[in-house]
Structure 1
Amino acid sequence: MKKLLILGAGTAGTMMANKLVKQLDKEEWKITLVDKVEEHYYQPGLLFIPFNIYKRNDVIKPKRDFIPSDVDLIMSDIEVIEPEQNRVKLQNGQVLSYDFLIIATGTQMNPDETEGLKGDGWYKNIFDFYTLEGACHLQKFLKFWQGGKLVLNITEMPIKCPVAPLEFLFLADWWFTEKGIRDKVDLTFVTPLPGAFTKPRAAQILGDFLQKKNINLVPEFSTGSVDSKANKIRSWDEKEVDYDLLVTIPTNMGDPVIERSGMGDELNFVPTHPKTLQSKKWENVFVIGDATNLPSSKAGSVAHFQAEILQENLLRAIDGLPLKEDFDGHANCFIESGFGKGMLIDFNYDVEPLPGKYPLPGIGPFSLLEETKMNHWGKMMFRWVYWNILIKGGEMPIEAQMNMAGKIR
């Protein structure tokens, strides 16, 4: 019997297991999925926990609820991947061989990469919100905070969901306004980017939003260290920013197993063909989601679009056919802007976010690069779509490749 091994049962790995179990002959193929955590986290929901919009239980479900019965799920840490031998060693002692391997090991927060970040202030007046633990600690802190200088700092790029830091600040503006203390809170966005976002046109519009909401922007700040006793962050070129409350997006890195296996770059992301999702080094290894080193966004929508391409390319590889170079870096993201409104961006490797209507040209119902109530509800409704359709490998009425219809250049 031939063997397909998937490493990681997050968004990308779970989608691939659900898609491929329907495509591969059960008499011919055994699909094995490996992960080390029993809970599945709805990661876009972590943003809402600090502001008491979601609770802990709103973003957690058992992973086993979404894994098909025909897929063998193994709960264990991975010791090492040995691609030259077509096998993976688990920390529980098992050795798994494979004919094809899909790496979906994601990305992790690494606060230890920044000097002083995880010092005396950690979870006292320094918090992350990209982890469940950090988001819940921050929720408790904000409940009773009476104001001061809130600094949101991206330590370095790339990061998961590049718009989430902006969403946090927009929601903070709303949250403190609702509490009646917005005039007592100084909001500052400190980023290594030259502007508010990675794409110029969106960066200009989102930068205008920061200005309109009285949120300070400190661009091109390359974080070198944190002095938690003096409440300062310092850049490598000795610039300083003071804070009373620091909300940090620590260095994002791929899973340590990628480093142990000698398969990654300096941040433990796997070099991946940008259009086929095949490993650049091993023909029977494919990579999806946040584990890749691609210049596309590390976001759930990207993993969904990649899954459509990877499903076909894996089947083509099994049959010995040439792979299709169909992944175009497509990403779309709702951006929660506070006060019951939101924005939407849709872009790929070559086309930056543009205004227009989405997904139906001229109709919508969503508006691109425009703040609307409908976009807010699109963001809020996505949680149901995620749990009930997306990670179950269901079909979505959105093409994997970006469509220019309805966009205005």
Structure 2
Amino acid sequence: MKKIVILGAGTAGTMMANKLRRALDKEEWKITIVDQFKTHYYQPGFLFIPFGIYNKEDVVKPKSDFIPSGVEVIYSEIDKIEAKENRVVLDGGKILNYNYLIVATGTKTFPDETPGLKDKLWYKEIFDFYTVEGAVALRRFFKDWEGGRLVMAITELPYKCPVAPLEFVFLADAYFTEIGIREKVDISYVTPMPGAFTKPIATKMLSELLEEKNIKVIPDFYIERVDNEEKKLVSYDEQEVPFDVLTVVPVNMGDAMIERSGLGDDMNFVPTNKETLQSLAHENIFVLGDASNIPTSKAGSVAHFAAEILFENLMSAIEGRPLHAKFDGHANCYIETGNGKGALIDFNYETEPLPGTFPLPGVGPFGLLKNTKINHYGKVMFRWIYWHILLKGKELPVEPLMTMAGKKKVG
């Protein structure tokens, strides 16, 4: 029997398990998925926990609910991939041989990489919201906080869900306005980027929104350390930003197993053909989601669109055909802006976010680079879509490759 092994039962790995099990003969192909954790987290929902919009229970479900029958599930840590031998070594020494391997081990936060970040103020006055533990701890803090300097800081690029820190400050503005202490809260957005976002047209729109909400942007700030005694961020060029409460995006890196396997770059992301999603080093290894080094957003939408391409190419490889499907880096992100409104961006490797309508030209119903109520509803609806359609590998009425239909060229 031929074997496909999927490493990681998060968004990307679960989608592929569902797609492949439907497509491949059960008598001919054995599919195995490996993950050390049994709980699946709806990570976009972490953002809403600090503001009491979601609770922990809203963002967790058993992984077993989404893995199809006929797929072998192994809950175990992974020691390493021995790519030349076509095998995976699990913690404890168990060996999994494979004909094809899909690496979907994602990215993780490493607060220890920044001196002083995970020190005596950690989860007391310094928080992340990229873990459910951090989001819940921040919720408890905000319940009693009476105001001061709130700093949202990004340590390093890349990081998953690039718009989430922006959404955080927008929601913070709305939350503190609602409870009547916004005039007592100074909100700053500290980023190593030259502006609010990586793309100029979107940066202009988002910067205007930040200014309108009285949120200060501190660009080109590369955090060297966090001073817990004086409660300040210190950059490599000795700039300082004081805080009373710090919310931070810690350094994001690929799984340590990638490093042990000798398959990663200096951030433990797997060098991957950005179009075919095939490992640059091994033809029978494909990489999906945040585990790869492809030059687009580390976001759930990218994993979804890329999964369509990877599926086509893996089927081509199995059948001995050339890998004709090409991923274009398509990303699609709702941006929660607070007060029941949201924005939407749609872009790929070559085309930055542009104004227009989505998914239908001239009709929408969603507005690109517009701050509207319908975009907010799109964000809210996505949680249901995620649990019931996306994870199960079902088709959505959005093409995996970006289209210019409905978009308006600028300049």
TM more than 0.5:
yes
Q: Does 1:295 align with 2:300?
A: no
1:326 and 1:124 mapped to 2: Cα distance?
A: 46
Q: What residue ranges of structure 2 are gaps of 5+ in the alignment?
A: none
Q: Secondary structure at the match of 1:344?
A: strand
- Separation in 1 of the partners of 2:233 and 2:326? 42
- 1:82 aligns with 82
How much has 1:318 moved relative to structure 2?
Answer: 0.9
CA distance in 2 between counterparts of 1:37 and 1:401 reads 32
Please show how residues 364-379 of structure 1 align to structure 2 within 5 Å.
364-379=364-379
Give yes or no for contact 1:187–1:216 (8 Å, CA) kept in 2: yes
Task: Write out aligned runs for 1:195-274 (5 A).
Answer: 195-274=195-274
Whole-angstrom CA distance in 1 between matches of 2:294 and 2:229: 38
**2:114 paired residue number:** 114
Task: State the distance in 2 between where 1:103 and 1:92 align.
Answer: 20
CA distance in 2, matches of 1:187, 1:295: 30
Alignment-derived partner of residue 354 in structure 1: 354
- Comparing 319-328 with 282-291, greater Cα deviation is found at 319-328
> Alpha-carbon deviation of 1:326?
1.5
Counterpart CA distance in 1 for 2:101 and 2:129 is 31
Q: Secondary structure in 1 aligned to 2:253?
A: strand
CA distance in 2, matches of 1:94, 1:12: 24
Structure 1 counterpart of 2:8, one-letter code? G
Aligned partner of 1:14 in structure 2 is 14
Q: Report the residue type matching 1:52 in the other structure.
A: G
In the alignment, the residues of structure 2 paired with residue 266 and residue 401 of structure 1 have an alpha-carbon distance, to the nearest angstrom, of: 29
Q: Deviations over 1:291-331 (max 9, x none)?
A: 00011100000000000000010000111111124100000
Counterpart of 1:131?
131
| Residues 120 and 229, structure 1, Cα contact 8 Å, conserved in 2 | no
Match of residue 323 from structure 2: 323
Deviation string, structure 1 residues 132-176 (Cα, Å, up to 9, x no partner): 000000000001100000000000000101000000000000000
Q: How far apart, CA to CA, are the structure 2 residues paired with 1:325 and 1:293?
A: 19
Amino acid at match of 2:160: K
Q: 2: CA distance between counterparts of 1:228 and 1:127?
A: 13
Give the distance between the partners of 1:204 and 1:188, measured in 2 at CA: 17
- 1:332 and 2:332 aligned: yes
Contact 2:81–2:87 under 8 Å retained in 1: yes
Q: Give distance in 1, aligned partners of 2:189 and 2:295.
A: 23
The whole-number CA distance in structure 2 between the counterparts of 1:178 and 1:9 is 38
Partner residue in 1 for 2:344: 344
Alignment length, in residue pairs? Answer: 409
The alpha carbon displacement at 1:92 in A equals: 3.4
The 3-state SS of whatever aligns with 1:307 is helix
Q: Which amino acid letter does the alignment assign opposite residue 226 of structure 1?
A: V
Q: Distance in 2 between matches of 1:75 and 1:64?
A: 10
Equivalent position amino acid for 1:274 in 2: K
| Partner SS state of residue 206, structure 1 | helix
Structure 1 position 179 matched with structure 2 position 170: no
Opposite residue 170 of structure 1, the aligned amino acid is F
**Displacement after TM superposition at 1:99 (Å):** 0.3
> Which residue identity does 2:202 align to in structure 1?
A
Counterpart-to-counterpart distance in 1, 2:397 and 2:167: 26
1:14-163 matched pairs, under 5 angstroms = 14-163=14-163
Q: CA deviation at 1:131?
A: 0.4
Offset of residue 237 of structure 1: 1.0
Structure 1 residues not aligned, in runs of 5+: none
What value does the CA root-mean-square deviation take over the aligned residues? Answer: 0.5
C-alpha contact (below 8 Å) 1:12/1:304 kept by paired residues: yes
Q: Give, in whole Å, the separation in 1 of the partners of 2:237 and 2:260.
A: 32
How far apart, CA to CA, are the structure 1 residues paired with 2:352 and 2:93? Answer: 47
Distance across 1 between alignment mates of 2:68 and 2:30: 12
Seq. identity, %: 64
For 1:130, the aligned partner's letter is: Y
| 2:381 counterpart residue number | 381
Mapped to 1, the partners of 2:86 and 2:21 lie a distance apart of 21
Task: Answer whether contact 1:87 1:96 (CA < 8 A) is retained.
Answer: yes
TM-score with structure 1 setting the length: 0.99
Contact 1:225 1:233 in 2 (8 A): yes
| TM-score normalized by the length of structure 2 | 0.99
- Aligned AA for 1:317? A
Cα distance in 2 for partners of 1:20, 1:325 equals 16
